[in-house]
């Protein structure tokens, strides 16, 4: 590998938005460390698949160690993996809590902690991007999702904290807060109804998310930002 090649670690990389992010960063010439619980090996030598459940203690550190062993550095982390469970607050179970916080919070924490330590040691900056949801800012009675707000709201808040804590080491921290995106988690029959929930009258595409993340990646003066990619949801309806 060329020592100047930049390296991105992407969680939840096997399908949907994560798969799109892998392709997008490869087009920029980045080497990619692609993680999910079940991800196949790539024919591309610059895409390194690392299987593991980031909800489990120690897995995040192991993924970062594997990335450093393979490519020697980490420049960017995209915390894309997430679990979304929509139900009335009083119907959430302890298992729901453990599942959602395990991926959305522990996964972020362990991967980012280890990756930022590597970025500090490298001494030439870095970037952490969290994938969040506009439901944090725009609660919807039709989509009761307090666990999403609890966890993704924390990811929005920590963006600002990390941006300030590591600004003097040129490590940036940002988030992309999404509306509803066309992915395998949404059945085709629901798309018309979901589109109506966005002022722009359509659901988002994976490319909308990829473009936003790559914009932040290429915007070196932007840090501490929560960029809404939600068809106008967070502005009102």
Residue 101 in any domain: the answer is yes
Using DSSP's 3-state secondary structure scheme, residue 77 falls into strand
Residue 173 in any domain: the answer is yes
Query: What's the total number of domains in the chain?
Result: 1
Residue 55 in any domain: the answer is yes
Helix (H) / strand (E) containing 129: strand 126-133
Residue 237 in any domain: the answer is no
Using DSSP's 3-state secondary structure scheme, residue 50 falls into strand
Whether residue 164 contacts residue 197, with contact meaning beta carbons closer than 8 Å, is answered with no
What is the reported pLDDT for 1?
44
Per-run averaged pLDDT (10 residues), the chain, 237 residues: 80 95 98 96 96 97 98 98 94 96 97 98 98 89 89 96 98 95 72 81 93 98 97 86
DSSP bridge partners of 129: 78, 174
What is the reported pLDDT for 236?
82
DSSP bridge partners of 32: 8, 47
Domain of residue 190: give its range: 7-229
Residue 131 in any domain: the answer is yes
Residue 155 in any domain: the answer is yes
Residue 214 in any domain: the answer is yes
The number of angstroms, rounded, from the C-alpha of 167 to the middle of its chain's C-alpha atoms is 20
What is the reported pLDDT for 189?
64
What is the reported pLDDT for 186?
64
Distances (CA, A) of 100 to 30, 73, 131, 205: 30, 29, 14, 24
φ, ψ at 225 (rounded to 5°): -105, 140
CATH classification of the domain holding 87: 3.40.50.720
Residue 211 in any domain: the answer is yes
d(CA 111, CA 103): 11
């Amino acid at each position: 590998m060329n020592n100047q090649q930049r390296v991105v670690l992407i969680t939840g990389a096997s399908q949907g938005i994560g798969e799109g992010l892998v392709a997008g960063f490869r087009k920029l010439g980045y080497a990619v460390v692609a993680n999910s619980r079940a991800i196949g090996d790539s024919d591309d030598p610059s895409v390194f698949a690392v299987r593991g459940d980031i909800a489990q203690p120690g897995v995040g550190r192991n993924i970062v160690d594997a990335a450093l062993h393979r490519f020697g550095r980490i420049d960017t982390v995209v915390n894309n993996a997430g679990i979304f469970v929509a139900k009335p607050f009083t119907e959430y179970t302890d298992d729901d809590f453990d599942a959602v916080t395990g991926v959305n919070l522990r996964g972020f924490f362990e991967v980012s902690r280890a990756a930022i330590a590597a970025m500090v040691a490298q001494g030439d900056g870095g970037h952490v991007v969290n994938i969040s949801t506009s439901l944090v800012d725009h609660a919807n009675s039709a989509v009761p999702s307090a666990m999403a707000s609890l966890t993704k709201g924390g990811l929005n808040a920590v963006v600002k904290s990390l941006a300030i804590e590591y600004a003097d080491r040129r490590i940036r921290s940002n988030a992309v807060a999404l509306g509803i995106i066309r992915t395998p988690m949404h059945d085709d029959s629901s798309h018309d109804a979901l589109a109506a929930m966005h002022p722009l009258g359509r659901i988002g595409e994976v490319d909308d998310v990829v473009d936003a993340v790559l914009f932040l990646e290429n915007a070196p003066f932007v840090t501490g930002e929560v960029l809404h990619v939600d068809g106008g949801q967070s502005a009102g309806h």
